[in-house]
């Protein structure tokens, strides 16, 4: 019987351009991490909002029990995306840069805390810019002259 030699890859350390690119990457990464602090942007909730958020502990528990690890839960109407890390941990992946979205995320944080689930924010959360909906000049309730039923 012939024994195969284990494959060993020797890695050489190179200095110069590769090292410069890595330094540049680390500087940019550090800037993003230091400048984008989501936890500090969350508002303090009043008693009414805190009480409402505590009612959603069942939702928080259902989320970690029913979604597999790594799954993303998109909450497009609230500008928040969450990722299940484990049954004890959820990570906020993105939040839209708008007061409504930060308030919603603060309420989500209270719900998870009440359920005993850790919600990770910094340095994982990416802040997405707020893109306001396009205004076509007419209120949404007005008829825009498009296809529809005409009443005589």
Each residue's pLDDT tens digit, 9-50: 333 333 444 445 455 544 544 444 344 689 999 999 999 999
Give CA 108 to chain center in angstroms. 12
pLDDT of residue 56: 87
Kind of pairing, strands 80-84 and 118-120?
Answer: unpaired
C-alpha angle 125-130-136 in degrees, rounded to nearest 5:
155
Each residue's pLDDT tens digit, 77-104: 999 999 999 989 999 999 999 999 999 9
Q: Quick check: helix, strand or coil at residue 80?
A: strand
């Amino acid at each position: 019987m012939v024994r195969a030699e284990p494959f060993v890859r020797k890695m050489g350390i190179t200095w110069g351009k590769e090292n410069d690119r890595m330094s540049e990457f680390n500087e940019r990464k550090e800037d993003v991490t230091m400048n984008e602090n989501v936890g500090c942007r969350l508002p303090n909730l009043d008693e009414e909002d805190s009480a409402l958020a505590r009612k959603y502990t069942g939702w928080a528990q259902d989320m970690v029990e029913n979604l597999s690890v790594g799954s993303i839960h998109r909450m497009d109407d609230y500008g928040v995306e969450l990722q299940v890390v484990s049954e004890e941990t959820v990570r906020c992946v993105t939040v839209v840069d708008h007061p409504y979205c930060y308030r919603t995320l603060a309420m989500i944080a209270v719900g998870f805390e009440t359920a005993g689930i850790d919600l990770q924010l910094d340095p994982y959360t990416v802040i997405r810019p707020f893109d306001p909906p396009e205004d076509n000049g007419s209120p949404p309730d007005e008829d825009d002259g498009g296809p529809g039923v005409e009443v005589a």
